[in-house]
Amino acid sequence: MSEIDDKERPLDVERLRGDFPILSQEVNGKPLVYLDNAATTQKPTAVIDSICDYYREYNSNIHRGVHTLSQKATDAYERARVRTMDFLGAGRPEEIIFVRGATEGINLVSQAYLRPRIEPGDEIVISTLEHHSNIVPWQLLREQAGAVLKVAPVDDNGAIDIQAYKDLLGERTKFVSLVHVSNALGTINPIREMVAMAREKEIPVLVDGAQAAAHGRVDIDKLGCDFYTISGHKMYGPTGIGALYGKAQLLEEMPPYHGGGEMILSVTFDKTEYNRLPYKFEAGTPDIAGAIGLGAALEYIEEAGIESIEAHEKNLLDYATAAVSSIDGVEIIGRAPAKAGILSFIIDGVHPHDAGTILDQQGVAVRAGHHCAQPVLERLGVQATVRASFALYNTREEIDLLAQGITKAVEVFA
């Protein structure tokens, strides 16, 4: 994620909030305060309209039709691919593969890239910070191929131990897969440095960008990674759509992940000739509306200004950290020096689920649990936390309501 530069301009948050219809409602008689953005973000009208317009005006299958509706749908779908390429700083549209989300992107790389190349005893390096989606696919590969899974540790603040990570990169390391931003703690990994360390040893690297891409500038060229994954629903787009960036040379070498229509040039009972990139990896009718919605979401983020979003969310995180830290009995979990807009905490004597329920009664939506990141929470000595996570439409006034709800939870269980 980038440093803030001269492109930054203040967000007109109240105007932007008006773009999100769901935010105008009440929950349990209170104005909705939506602070569960690390789980999924809300959708602006521009995204909702883009999906409705597709179904209302030019619903048709893509690529294979010569009629007008099919051509319009194909054009919109491929424009979304180009927009994704530009958003991530990739070089070629065919390096963008539409998938269901970051999870599928990781699984695709695991099975289509690494499985044919890995031998018993070869090593895969991940980190303690990973979401389960960047742990389980590599465990499956370990079972399939006899690989060894190495895990880079974190310190007591939830920051990666960079020297320990470097020491794990050995002669038998065949792949590295790292989260860009921790969904449980908000820790921002020094990805450029970590990728560079692996690349010095010619080790390919995948970066899980699900929690990063909507909150700071991603530049694939500067990061230097071989693969990068995103999920649309975590960046104001629809669920069920995401993208995998892969270097063209590597994608060309990889076999298809799924088989079916679209990913072929010709089929006989004796032989199938696979399609060119990126279609080799997009079997069957894709989520056309989802891709169009993702393209609209990326356009919305760019128009708002990604540097401005990053600065706004950093301001919210600082404000929330101070407000929540001042409440007796509350402990923040994860205090890495570099953090995105995620605040995890526990309340002495209050189960996170109970705290989440009390906050919900106040109209405040947060997440309570292990956040599909059990290993890192166990490393920090907790089983679950309450997590507030911020987006471009959140305000300091909402942070104040969060703090009031936490205070109420403390009082209820005193």
What are the tens digits of pLDDT across the range 262-297?
888 899 999 999 889 999 999 999 999 999 999 999
**Residues of each domain in the chain carrying CATH 3.90.1150.10:** 13-31+305-412
| Mean pLDDT calculated for residue range 223-241 | 98
Percent of the chain at pLDDT > 90 equals: 93
| Mean pLDDT calculated for residue range 367-395 | 96
Third-level CATH fold of 47-303: Aspartate Aminotransferase; domain 2 (3.40.640)
Q: How many residues does the chain have?
A: 414
In sequence order, what DSSP letters do the residues of 311-357 get, joined into one string?
HHHHHHHHHHHHHHHTSTTEEEE---SSB-SEEEEEETTB-HHHHHH
Q: What is the pLDDT of residue 20?
A: 98
| Mean pLDDT calculated for residue range 161-181 | 98
Omega before residue 352 within 30° of 0, cis: no
| Mean pLDDT calculated for residue range 375-402 | 97
> Is residue 161 predicted with pLDDT exceeding 70?
yes
Q: What is the pLDDT of residue 5?
A: 43
How confident is the model over 141-159, as pLDDT tens digits? 999 999 999 999 999 999 9
Q: What is the pLDDT of residue 2?
A: 44
Closest listed residue to residue 159, CA positions, set 189, 132, 198, 179: 189
| Mean pLDDT calculated for residue range 201-208 | 98
**Strand residues in 76-218 grouped as ranges (E):** 96-99, 123-127, 148-152, 173-179, 205-208
> Is residue 399 predicted with pLDDT exceeding 80?
yes
Q: pLDDT tier at 64 (50, 70, 90 boundaries)?
A: confident
**Residues of each domain in the chain carrying CATH 3.40.640.10:** 47-303
Q: Which of 32, 82, 136, 372 is catalytic?
A: 372
For the beta carbon of residue 324, count every other beta carbon within 10 angstroms.
21
In CATH, 13-31+305-412 is 3.90.1150.10:
yes
Answer with the residue of higher pLDDT: 1 or 125. 125
> Is residue 1 predicted with pLDDT exceeding 70?
no
Collapsed DSSP state (helix, strand, coil) of residue 104:
helix
The residue type found at 255 is P
Closest listed residue to residue 41, CA positions, set 290, 318, 241, 238: 238
> Is residue 8 predicted with pLDDT exceeding 80?
no
Q: What is the pLDDT of residue 7?
A: 55
How confident is the model over 327-341, as pLDDT tens digits? 999 999 999 999 999
Which helix (H) or strand (E) element contains residue 365? Answer: strand 364-365
- pTM equals 0.95
Q: Residues with Cβ < 8 Å from 78, sequence gap 6 or more?
A: 93
> Is residue 4 predicted with pLDDT exceeding 80?
no
The residue type found at 50 is S
Q: pLDDT tier at 6 (50, 70, 90 boundaries)?
A: very low
Active site residue 225: no
